[in-house]
């Protein structure tokens, strides 16, 4: 049960980021959706992909390409524990997301 809860956490949190939180941030900062990003959520997307499409087994192509969340090696089962969630939360760039994209970054990204 704990294994499934951790996996469901990854799927749910990424879905909330992509479908709710990220669009609201883009609207609040009057910028495009593509200008709102964070490596932590990109890594969570990779973990989520392996949960949903590879029976929660880390693959080189997805989990193996995480930039910050190096929790699992390819071939390992994705068992997301409380310490993983705490690590994730500590790595989310809350202040940067609150400030929004800079004018310089906006010019480069559009």
Residue with tokens 């939180």: 21
pLDDT band at 110 (very low <50, low <70, confident <90, very high): very low
Give this prediction's pTM: 0.89
CA angle 109, 47, 89 (to 5 degrees): 75
Nearest to 85 by CA among 36, 13, 18, 1: 13
Task: Look at residue 15 in the predicted model and tell me its pLDDT.
Answer: 98
Res. 107 pLDDT band, cuts 50 70 90: very low
Helices (DSSP H) in 1-62: which residue ranges? Answer: 2-16, 22-28, 39-53
Helices and strands counted in the chain (H then E): 6, 0
The answer to whether 53 and 47 have CB atoms below 8 angstroms apart is no
pLDDT tens digits, 38-73 = 999 999 999 999 999 999 999 999 999 999 999 999
């Amino acid at each position: 049960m704990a294994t499934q809860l951790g996996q469901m956490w990854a799927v749910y949190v990424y879905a909330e980021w992509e479908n709710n939180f990220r669009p609201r941030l883009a609207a609040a900062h009057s910028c495009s959706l593509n200008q709102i990003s964070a490596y932590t959520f990109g890594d969570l997307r990779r973990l989520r992909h392996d949960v949903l499409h590879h029976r929660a087994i880390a693959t080189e192509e997805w989990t193996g390409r995480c930039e910050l969340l190096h929790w699992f090696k390819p071939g390992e089962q994705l068992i997301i524990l409380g310490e993983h969630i705490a690590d994730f939360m500590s790595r989310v760039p809350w202040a940067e997301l609150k400030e929004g994209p800079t004018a310089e970054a906006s010019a480069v990204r559009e």
